[in-house]
Structure 1
Amino acid sequence: MKFLFVGSSPDHGGAEVHFTALAQALQEQGHGVEAMVDPRGFIAAELARANVPLHRRRFRNVIDPCAHARLHRAIRDFRPDALIGNFGKDYWPLVLAGRMAKVPVALFRHSVTALNPLSSRWLPRLAHSYFAVSHYARAVYADHGMDAQCVQVLHNPVDVRRFQHAEQVRAQVLAELDIPQDAIVVGYCGRMRSKGIYTLLEASALAMARDPRVHCLWVGEDGGGELRSAAAFLPHADRHRFTGLVDDTERYYSAFSMLAFPSLAPETFGRVSIEAQACGIPVLGSDIGGVPETLIPGSSGLLLPPGDARAWKRGILALCDPAARAAMAVAGRAFVEQRFSYPVIAGQLVARMQAGR
């Protein structure tokens, strides 16, 4: 099949990573892929690196006439079998273009904020496929009044060739950060705001008091440095390391002994959880939102009550056992390969787009 992706976002978040990963997954399975994207930012750069042909134009708003003309030219020239959209600004232009060109449209929704009543009622009915990225999100959309029968679930894909454990890389990262090679590294990856990071900070301090091998590695943007400042006043402050924003997160997963995903507010899904498990890293995740769909509790990780620092301390100490981590590493990698790998998710999308055509 041939897929034309349309993405007007210049940002670098979960929806943008999903957009590029899904395009690459289809391309790797031998499907034709082109994309009409904002010429700035992450999406254009990532797809250019993957040699996806780009139409560099974005929708400034729903009625942007130049963008509509560019989209119709791309459809005419490429003759796609399906149009794919991830961002709210692109939903109505894609539905209208798909109807005019008689091309099926698949829309992905990543946020759980409510759409306006018109869009909530009609977009899932007018699109060929309307996807939530978790069962949790689908339930929230139904609570907002959307017809759940019009919403399907298709999880995020992950490149299991890119995300895999490398012991040599682990040794290099630990040496670069001056962390002992025998350390038990509690890793966090993501933006350091509104994700329960202070629960994890408290829990890690309690775990460090119990086990001198425990260290914390914080990967991501620390805004104004508030978390780093807070860690400096804790006992064992010398066991915390901060990398800042990085592009090669898979490298740091290899250095983790476990990933902590301590969200307080419900996450729509939780990509970092499946990326870490692909790298053979057990996950401590908050039992909230879409996070439970990203791991096998007791097998590839542990679900813990959000905001309960003492429960998170117990979870960290439980995974200080190397035998427990080794078993979870094998289970987690197999789980991701079977549920979230590029061939699996690309195959599911193709099957659903072909259904009813």
Structure 2
Amino acid sequence: MKVLNIINVRWYNATAWYGHMLSLGLEALGHKTAVMGLPGTPPVIKAKEAGLQTYEAELNSLNPLKLIKSAAVFGKAVKEFKPDVVVCHRGEFFFYFTHVRFWEKPEWKLVRVRGDRRPPKADALSRWLYHNAVDKVVTSSESMRRFHLDNLKLPPNKVVTLYGGVETELFSRNEDGRQRVRHEFGFSDNDFVLGILGRYDTVKGHESLFRAVEELRNEGMDKIRLLIAGVDACMNEKDIKLMLENRGIQGITAVTGKRDDIADVISAMDLGVIPSLGSEAVCRVGMEMLSCGVPVIGSDIGVIPEIIPPSNIFIAGDVQSIKNRIRDYKAYHKSYDYIDFAEQFASFFN
């Protein structure tokens, strides 16, 4: 099977990661894979670094001339690469793909991936397109799959939920790395280290976790520690440190900044926490933590309750609920491997 992944995302967000891991997994399984994306963007750069064939076009532009050029680039890709499957990961330019699929009746099949929280429109036009011009739909959560079944009235065999997968050879528990990182930040073997990994953004729920840690420490959990890894976004590291100071927990917290040894940083954690208040259509961080053998607790947001057990779920933003899960959680381990992800995708067509 030959797959053309359309990953027209300007940055390396969860949607781009999902498409990239699918590309790597399919290629590893022997399914020739190419990537089409926006010029000079991370999905294209990473695909090139992986040795995949790439095509670049301004698929997200509103300029008619650029859209015509993008259509020409897509035509070139189809002619040169001869895909069996075209996978569309974003809504921009999707209408053109459905137009070609319906009117020209090409040999390739069209797949729409829904890897975000925003559901498609459920109007008459959308229902017609999904029934007549889309061959398969892949969703990153079961809730999104149910939306397609209930609102677009698609048959169950046309829609599948695939959560994604990580490179388990890179994200695996490293005891040496664990000890090195814990020593670097002054954590002892007896310390109970909570870890949060993600961009600095209010939607990621840092504040509610900080409040929970503050209260647990005041209630006698004197060995609790906090390890924060992330990059600047809507907030920066200065904002994070100010929040920690306001809670009086800066002395038991390590803020790592951007790291290249992220698997070792995760391995240094005793419990991973995903306190998100929104988003989480794809929970990459949870999969990476689980792959490193770290148990995870998380909020009842997005796909999080689908990839970790109910015993490890807390109410988003509810400090008492977070505290309860930190005190009492299940040491749960599960592997979300990108090869398994790609195998499930391929079997969807067989």
* TM-score computed with the length of structure 2 as normaliser: 0.88
Letter in 2 for 1:207: L
Contact 2:98 2:134 in 1 (8 A): yes
Counterparts of residues 276-315 of structure 1 (less than 5 Å): 276-298=289-311, 302-315=312-325
Corresponding residue for 2:60? 60
The CA RMSD measured in Å over matched residues stands at 2.3
* Structure-2 change in CA distance of 1:40 and 1:53 (3 Å): same
Corresponding residue for 2:327? 317
* Structure-2 change in CA distance of 1:50 and 1:119 (3 Å): farther
Structure-1 separation of matches of 2:247 and 2:228: 15
SS at match of 1:70: helix
Instruction: For residues 114-149 of structure 1, give each alpha carbon's deviation from its aligned partner in whole angstroms, at most 9, with x where no partner exists.
Output: 434366324422111112111122234556x32243
In the alignment, which of 111, 115, 131 is matched to residue 116 of structure 2? 111
In the alignment, which of 113, 118, 121 is matched to residue 127 of structure 2? 121
Q: CA deviation at 1:261?
A: 0.8
* Structure-2 change in CA distance of 1:120 and 1:151 (3 Å): farther
SS at match of 1:23: helix
Structure-1 separation of matches of 2:136 and 2:323: 43
Corresponding residue for 1:202? 211
Corresponding residue for 1:147? 153
Q: CA deviation at 1:98?
A: 4.0
Residue-pair matches, total: 336
Letter in 2 for 1:36: M
SS at match of 1:345: helix
Q: CA deviation at 1:248?
A: 4.9
Larger relative contact order (CA 8 Å, sep ≥ 6): 2
Letter in 2 for 1:78: F
Instruction: For residues 173-206 of structure 1, give each alpha carbon's deviation from its aligned partner in whole angstroms, at most 9, with x where no partner exists.
Output: 2233343354221111112321322111111112
Letter in 1 for 2:111: A
Structure-2 separation of matches of 1:108 and 1:247: 30
Corresponding residue for 2:280? 267
Structure-1 separation of matches of 2:221 and 2:213: 10
Structure-2 separation of matches of 1:241 and 1:172: 14
Instruction: For residues 272-321 of structure 1, give each alpha carbon's deviation from its aligned partner in whole angstroms, at most 9, with x where no partner exists.
Output: 112211110101111333211111344xxx111222212212322336xx
* TM-score computed with the length of structure 1 as normaliser: 0.86
Q: Which runs of 5+ in 1 are unaligned?
A: none
Letter in 1 for 2:137: Y
| Identical columns (%) | 22
Structure-2 separation of matches of 1:308 and 1:60: 39
Structure-2 separation of matches of 1:9 and 1:248: 25
Structure-2 separation of matches of 1:162 and 1:92: 37
* Structure-2 change in CA distance of 1:220 and 1:119 (3 Å): farther
Corresponding residue for 2:164? 156
Corresponding residue for 1:83? 86
In the alignment, which of 74, 78, 94 is matched to residue 77 of structure 2? 74
